[in-house]
Amino acid sequence: MAAAVKALNAKIRSNPVPDYLCSTHFWGPASNFGIPLAAVLDTQKDADIISGRMTLALAGYSAVFMRYSMMVTPKNYLLFGCHVVNFSAQMTQGYRYLKYWNFGGREASLEAQAKEGLGTVENKAKEALDKVKEKLPK
């Protein structure tokens, strides 16, 4: 049995494509792509749920591993790409966080919500007034 496993391993390692697909240089970044995927999808959510600390931590993590991916031998371009995407998404989230909490985005959002609520109340009041006018004798 051990000889069969060794023979299979030698066969896989002799071809560069299966060798790469069976290595941690492929599966590490492939499994790590969930983090940048989640970060990109989070850019569509409200800015009030962004954690500034976590965004900073993930941006730092990605910056460190972008450097690491270029320092290992052989260079791991898939890992580099994964962390470029994550770093970019975290910078986008960081911009949204700062805009919302520090540069007036929260106030603008609350003002828009208040105006929307006021418009809804005015419409309901007009509908109620129209119903009352229909019921009154002429």
- The closest of 25, 21, 30, 23 to 72, measured between CA atoms, is 25
Residue 30 φ/ψ region, left for φ over 0, alpha for ψ in the -120 to 50 degree band, beta for the rest: alpha
Q: What is the pLDDT of residues 90-126, one digit of tens each?
A: 999 999 999 998 988 777 777 777 777 767 777 787 8
Cα-Cα end-to-end distance for the chain:
99
Q: What is the pLDDT of residues 68-90, one digit of tens each?
A: 999 988 898 989 999 999 999 99
pTM listed for this prediction: 0.67
Query: Are 56 and 50 in contact, with CB atoms under 8 Å apart?
Result: no
- The closest of 24, 57, 27, 26 to 39, measured between CA atoms, is 57
| Angstrom distance (rounded) from CA 98 to CA 111 | 18
